[in-house]
Amino acid sequence: MAYDTAHDVAPPGSDGLRLGFLMYPQAEHAQGRYDPLDPNRFKYTISAREI
């Protein structure tokens, strides 16, 4: 089983602070990052298909 060992991650195209680690999806708008733990303001779906 692999674990994420990255730290101080700079998302591509981001002007914000570096992330300490990646655990949840990240998104930004002009005023900054969305809170990935706020279900009313940040929603996403994950899908998969066999190729």
pLDDT at 37 (0 to 100): 92
Domain residue ranges in the chain: 1-51
Q: What share of the chain is helix, strand, coil (3-state, %, to 5)?
A: 0, 10, 90
Report pTM: 0.61
Q: Is the pLDDT of residue 3 over 70?
A: no
Place of tokens 């949840």: 24
pLDDT at 47 (0 to 100): 93
Residues shown for the chain: 51
Residue 33, SS3 per DSSP: strand
Please provide the average confidence, as pLDDT, over all residues in the chain: 85
